[in-house]
Structure 1
C-alpha cells in the first residue's frame, strides 16, 4: 500500500509561508498532479514528500508510516527532476540498471527483466547501447523516468520533467509516461504548471494557489465544476468568463441574461459574478430566444476550424468559441445566449452551491 497522507502540513521560510496547512490524501496507485502557477508552493510540497525539505508543521505518511523526519534514502521513493542526472560513461541500459545494483533483494535476472520491461514500455530498445551524450533532451528524460520506475519503489515523484524538452519530444514523453503509469501501478505525484499535461496524465489534480490546495478532484470535475473563480480562470484556454452580477428581489441580473435567474434559497453575500465557459456561449447573427445584443470586437483563428472571439455587451467583454467564422465582421452586431443551467454563481471568488 502506497497511499500518501499529508496532515495539515505547513512550510515556512522565515516570514514567508510557502505551503499553508495542506491536508489531503493521494490514493494508492493513482497519478496525482500538483498544478498551479509559478510560486504557488507545488515544488515545495513535493520536496517535503521526497524528504528534501522538512515541514514546519504537520506530518507526511506513506502507507500509514510516518516519514516526516526520514531522509530521502529511507523513504523508498523514485524521483525525476527538470534536469536529469545521468552517468555519461554508462549506456542507457546501464543507467537504468544502476539504482538496482546495490539492492541485494534484486537478483541479476530480475534487474535484467525490469530493464527490458522499461526499454520496451518507453520505446528505448533501439537506444539501449547508446551513451547519454548521444541522446536528445527528450530521450534523456525518458531514461530518467525509466530509471525511477525500474526501481519499483511504491511512490514516484516528478518535478516538471518536460519543462526543458522541445515540443515534439515533450508530446512523445507524455505518451510514454501514460504507457508507464497504466502498466506499472505505482503511486505517482507529478508537479506541473502546464494544464494540458495535468488534464492528460492525472487521475486527480490538486490545484494550488498561494500555498493552499484550492480544489482536488478528477480533471473533468475541476474543469466543469470549479469551486473558485481562480479554478475557472486557470483551467481552460481561454479560461472561464466572469460576468458581473447583481441580486435583487426579482433574482440575479447580469449583462449576459435576457431575464434574471432565480435567487438562491440563501442569498449570498459579497461581490457576485456569473461564470460560463467560452465554448458554452452561443453567438448568432440574428436574435434568438433568450439572447442579448453585443458587438464583435475581436477574433482569432483557433484549431479545427474554430474561432476564439470576443464580444462586448455594454462594457462587459464575453469570450466565445465558435464553430467556423463568426456571423459578423469586427464591429458588427451579434447576439449571445447561454444555457442557464450551466451558469455558475460566485460570491467573492467562491462558488455558491
Structure 2
C-alpha cells in the first residue's frame, strides 16, 4: 500500500506562506499531477513529500507510516528532478542498476531482470552500453526516469522532468513516461506547470494557486467543470470566457445572452460572470435563434484546421475557437450564440451550482 496522506500541511519561510494548510490524499497506484503557475507552491509541496523540506505544520503519511520528519533516504521513494545527477563514467545499464547494488534484498539476477525490463519499456536497449555523455538531454531524462522506477519503490516523485528537454524529445519522454506508469502501478506524484503534460499523464490533477489546492479531480472534470474562474482560465488554450453579468428581478443578463437566465435564489456576490469555453461558442455569418451580433476583431490560425478568434459585443470581447475559417473578415459583423446548458455561473470567482436550459 502506497497511499500518500497530506494532513493540514503548511510551510512558511519567515512571513511568506508557500504552502497553506493542504489536506488531501493521493490514492495507492495513481498518477497525480501537481499543476499550477510558477510560485504556486507545487515544488515546495513536492520537496516536503521527498523529505528535502520539513513542514512548519501538519503531517505527511506514506502507506500508514508517518514520514514527516524522516530524511529522504529513509522514505524509500524514487525521485526525478529537472537536472538529474547521472554518472558519466558508467554506462546506461550501470546507471540503471546502481540504485539496487547496495540493496541486499535484491539479488544480482533480479537486478539485471529489472534493468532489462526498464530498457525495453523505455525503448533504450540499444543504448545499454552507451555512456551518459553520449546521450542527448531527452534520452538522459529517460534514463533518470528508469533509474527512479527500477528500484520498484512504492512511491516515485517527479519535479518538472521535461522542462529542459527540447520539444520532440519531450513528446517522446512523455510517451515513455505514460508507458512506464501504466506498466508498473507505482504511486506517482508529478509536478508540472504544463497543462498538456498534466492532462495527458494524470489520473487526477491537483490544481494549485497561492499555496492551496484549488481543485483535485480527474482531468476531464477539471476542464469541463471548473470550480473557480482561475481553474477555467488556467486550463484551456485559450482559457474560458468570463462574461460580466448583472442580476435583476430574478434573472441574469449578459452581453453574450440573447435571453436572460433564471437566477438562483441564493445568488450572492459583488462580481457575477457567465462562463463558457471558446470551442462551445457558435459563430455564424447570419443571425439565428438566440444569437447576438458582434464585430470580428482578431483571428489566428490554430491547429487541426481551427481558428482562434475574438469578437466584440460592445466593450465585451469573446474568444471563439472555430472549425475552419471564420464566416467574416476583420471588422465585419458575426453572430454569436451559446448552448445555454453548457453555461456556468460564477460569483466573486467561485462556481455557483446552477443548470440552465
* Partner SS state of residue 97, structure 1: helix
Kept in 2: contact 1:250–1:260 (CA 8 A): no
State the SS of the aligned residue for 1:2.
coil
The equivalent residue for 2:299 is 299
Structure 1 spans left out of the alignment, 5+ residues: none
Contact conserved, 2:250 with 2:265, CA < 8 A, in 1? no
Q: Distance in 1 between matches of 2:163 and 2:221?
A: 26
Superposed CA RMSD in Å reads 0.5
Residue in structure 1 matched with residue 140 of structure 2 by the alignment: 140
TM-score, scaled to structure 1: 0.99
C-alpha separation between the residues in 2 aligned to 1:172 and 1:267? 48
CA distance in 1, matches of 2:327, 2:14: 56
Could you tell me how far 1:274 is from its partner in structure 2?
Answer: 0.6
- In structure 2, the residue matched to 1:173 is 173
**Residue aligned with 2:113, SS:** helix
Give the TM-score normalised by the residue count of structure 2.
Answer: 0.98
Q: Deviations over 1:229-278 (max 9, x none)?
A: 00000000000000000111140000000110011132222210011000
Q: Which runs of 5+ in 2 are unaligned?
A: none
Aligned to 2:311: 311
Mapping 1:121-270, distance limit 5 Å: 121-270=121-270
Q: Secondary structure at the match of 1:198?
A: helix
8 Å CA contact retained: 1:268, 1:352 = no
1:145-199: per-residue Cα shift (whole Å, max 9, x none)? Answer: 0000000000000000000000000000000000000000100000000000000
User: Matches of 1:251 and 1:223 in 2, distance apart?
Assistant: 27
For 2:269 and 2:312, the matched residues in 1 are separated by: 27
The DSSP-based 3-state class of the residue aligned with 2:236 is coil
Cα deviation, residue 104, structure 1: 0.2
Partner of 2:22: 22
Residue 65 of structure 1 corresponds to 65
> Are 2:3 and 2:26, in contact at CA under 8 Å, matched by a contact in 1?
yes
